[in-house]
Amino acid sequence: MSSAVVADFRGLTKRFGEFTAVEDVTFEVPAGRIVGLLGRNGAGKTTSLRMLLGLTAPTTGSATVFGKPYAELPRAAHRIGVSMDGIGATPGVTGRRDLRIWARMLGLPRRRVDEVLEHVGLDDRADKQLKGFSTGMKQRHALASALLADPELLVLDEPANGLDPDGIRWLRTFLRSLADEGRTILLSSHLLAEVEQTVDDVVILQKSLRYCGSLTELTSGGRHSLEDRFFELAEPTGTGEAAHA
């Protein structure tokens, strides 16, 4: 495992009034790894990612990327690619047009749009209106947007949602190829069986941290399933301390 830390969560807590969404979460994302952020709906996954990206302010604690808060990181939009609800496409345009708008904002050449469309398998459908895209096509388009600036880190919120079995298999291979190029990938998901075939490391949240470490250690080298270990660690009302590899 690389000793370099790409993203660092330290004592991160977020409260909305009397409701605590994330409580005292600490973990690191090592460089060059695919890290799965796992939890039930409402476990705090998206809130944690939004705090990392400066979209939501923490109540206490900190989240930094490449050693700095996102807002203070030079060329942050070039170094970090994001696929997340709320960071959406331009309404009323084609897929290609939307990417060209983003490319222009980032100061990228137009040819980069064609490169990423081919990379995600949308080059033959990119001139369709985004509103007519299937859910799976929208997920591929979001990945294309995240990859435009050739980022070092990808932050992906539920990237497999809406993909059919072929699409899920494609995504698994695609993410591994990106990691093999030296990128770091932090993805949230609740699709445990798929994550087990995709990630190197696992972070389990249920508002508080329940586990952080390698998939191999969590599953004892495959002797236990990720699903079984998840349900042991992520009981909704549990108060036990997190396990760390």
Tokens standing for residue 74 = 């030079």
Report pLDDT for 237. 52
According to DSSP, residue 224 is labeled S
Q: Is residue 77 part of a domain?
A: no
Q: Could you give the CA distance from residue 219 to residue 244 in angstroms, rounded to a whole number?
A: 13
Range from 155-159, 164-168, 213-217, 220-224 carrying the lowest mean pLDDT: 164-168
The H-or-E segment that residue 60 falls in is: strand 60-65
Q: Could you give the CA distance from residue 96 to residue 101 in angstroms, rounded to a whole number?
A: 9
Report pLDDT for 194. 87
Among the candidates 98, 117, 151, a domain finishes at: 151
Length of the chain (residues): 245
Tokens standing for residue 192 = 């445990």
List, for residues 61-102, the tens digit of each pLDDT value: 999 999 999 999 999 999 999 999 877 778 789 999 999 999
Report pLDDT for 63. 97
* Residues sharing a CB contact under 8 Å with residue 190, sequence separation 6 or more, in sequence order: 38, 39, 40, 41, 158
Q: Could you give the CA distance from residue 208 to residue 230 in angstroms, rounded to a whole number?
A: 14
Q: Is residue 122 part of a domain?
A: yes
Range of the domain at 18: 1-66+155-245
* Residues sharing a CB contact under 8 Å with residue 129, sequence separation 6 or more, in sequence order: 92, 93, 94
List, for residues 1-26, the tens digit of each pLDDT value: 446 999 999 999 999 999 999 999 99
**Number of domains the chain is built from:** 2
Same structural domain, 116 and 131? yes
Report pLDDT for 76. 97
- What interhelical angle do 165-180 and 135-147 show, nearest 10? 10
One-letter amino acid at 5 equals: V
Same structural domain, 192 and 147? no
CA distance to 77, 78, 178, 181, per residue, from 151 (Å): 8, 6, 10, 11
Among the candidates 151, 168, 194, a domain finishes at: 151
Q: How confident is the model at residue 240 (pLDDT cuts 50, 70, 90)?
A: very low
Same structural domain, 139 and 192? no
Q: Is residue 220 part of a domain?
A: yes
Beta strand 19-30 pairing with 5-16: antiparallel
Same structural domain, 163 and 243? yes
Q: Is residue 78 part of a domain?
A: no
- pTM for this prediction: 0.92
List, for residues 166-204, the tens digit of each pLDDT value: 889 999 999 999 999 999 999 999 889 889 999 999 999
Report pLDDT for 239. 42
Q: Could you give the CA distance from residue 205 to residue 36 in angstroms, rounded to a whole number?
A: 11
Q: Is residue 72 part of a domain?
A: no
Tokens standing for residue 171 = 């995504």
Report pLDDT for 8. 98
CATH number of the domain where residue 219 is located: 3.40.50.300
List, for residues 147-165, the tens digit of each pLDDT value: 999 999 999 999 988 888 8
Report pLDDT for 145. 95
The count of other CB atoms within 10 Å of the CB of residue 73 is 17
